[in-house]
Amino acid sequence: MMRCTQTLILFLALLLTNCMATPTSSVRTSETMTTVTLAVTATPRPAPTATVPVVNTATATATVTATTVPTPTPSVTATHLPTRQPSPAPPTATASAIAASEAPMVTLTTNANLRAGPGTAYPVIGGGQAGQTLVVTGRANGNVDGRPVTWWRTARGWVAGSLVTTNAAAQTVPVVADVPPPPTAEAKAKVEVKAEPTPEPTSTLTLTSALPLPDLVVLGPDTQYPVRARVVRGWDYELVDLASQYDIVVYRDVFGMLAHQIDDDNVQRYKSVSRFTESGPIRITLVDAQPHPDPGCPGWGWAPDRDTFVDPLGMSRKPCRVEHSLFPAGDGAGATLPMGWGYHAGTTLAVGAAGPTLADLSTTVIADMLPRPLNIGYSAPDYSQPLYRALGQARREGARWVWSDPFVQIVPGAR
């Protein structure tokens, strides 16, 4: 009975074990159950955080290392600045450049005659001294006593090439093609003057021709100089001679060119209004001198037919400076040229006193009618500067300018 009871208990324990254990577990005693429990707890699933971070970290590190691009070495080298080299010396001026920057000129090597044409068959109309320089405007083949010689045309006449030295610019002047034939002996005798050297510092050319002055001469490339006329017209300027005892003599046409050069520079550099746009051509008129009607105005001139010193607002406080008056102007050496200005008449001049320096004073006064460079303000022009070289060679003697080879003069009339 006892044995049957033990068998039954063992059977029930085995049955209970089969229901609770996995199929792979062996049917054992309580020790077997302990083994099964230990097997289940001994094989836990690894936590996901144990391996995932390691894999991700390794992958990220590999990726960063593989995609890193080093800074290119050539880019650093390319930014290096080269060693600065010294500026090259400016090129030496060539003969053609020098010729372009100076006026064509000849210098007399001896006292010389100045003739009406390129040859000794032409009459003598003036003279020059050794060392004197003259601006040339043309050349031609001529002769001296039957020998072929180059002749140079100046504002005062033709001079033989055997009596001068030339600068580089003189070699560039054109050959004069329309040289008139030599005059007959009778005509030559009427024109020819005594061949006296031109005295320094100035010269006054007086022709003995009985021909009246032409009414108008328009200056151009074919003009024969010197020119005397009732009206001489150039580029935006006009010289009018209404005087009965004095003439305006033009030796070369440079006034208009220089006037526009100065005016253009004022417009471009200082944005000023063009003098020619505002006032038109420059007009200078020579009239006979008359004394001022007011006895309290000695030295002043009077031009009743000219609208000088027009003062429509009556702002003038000086009794001598009224309409038609010419204020006194002189060089302190005996010559005076009273002058006035009007809106429509331009500049009016009259010879008050000739004196030995009238020619120099007249050249200076006419040059003063050029536009004033704005960079000098109200200062008087310095005619010895290169800007004014085309007008002639000028030098100061005290308070006056002395001219050699001037572009224009007022001289005693030949009529």
Over the stretch 365-388, which tens digit does the pLDDT of each residue have?
999 999 999 998 888 999 999 999
Please tell me the predicted confidence (pLDDT) of residue 121.
82
Annotated domain spans of the chain: 99-198, 227-412
Stronger pLDDT, 63 or 372, i.e. the higher one = 372
User: Residue 412 pairs with which residues in a beta bridge?
Assistant: 246
> Given pLDDT bands bounded at 50, 70 and 90, which one contains residue 321?
confident
Contact yes or no for 202/133 (Cβ under 8 A): no
Please tell me the predicted confidence (pLDDT) of residue 401.
96
Q: Give the number of other Cβ atoms within 10 Å of residue 337's Cβ.
A: 25
Round to whole Å and give the CA distance between 144 and 142. Answer: 7
Nearest C-alpha neighbor of 217 from the set 205, 204, 230: 230
> Given pLDDT bands bounded at 50, 70 and 90, which one contains residue 244?
very high
Per-residue pLDDT averaged across 284-300, rounded?
93
Please tell me the predicted confidence (pLDDT) of residue 41.
44
> Given pLDDT bands bounded at 50, 70 and 90, which one contains residue 75?
very low
Q: Give the number of other Cβ atoms within 10 Å of residue 97's Cβ.
A: 11
Tell me which H or E stretch contains 301: strand 301-302
Please tell me the predicted confidence (pLDDT) of residue 312.
61
> Given pLDDT bands bounded at 50, 70 and 90, which one contains residue 196?
very low
Round to whole Å and give the CA distance between 32 and 49. Answer: 34
Please tell me the predicted confidence (pLDDT) of residue 39.
41
Tell whether the model's pLDDT for residue 319 goes beyond 50: yes
User: Using CA of residue 10, residue 14, residue 17, residue 21, what is the dihedral sign?
Assistant: positive
Q: If you average pLDDT over every residue of the chain, what do you get?
A: 76
Q: Which two tokens stand for residue 297?
A: 């105005």
C-alpha angle 193-195-201 in degrees, rounded to nearest 5: 110
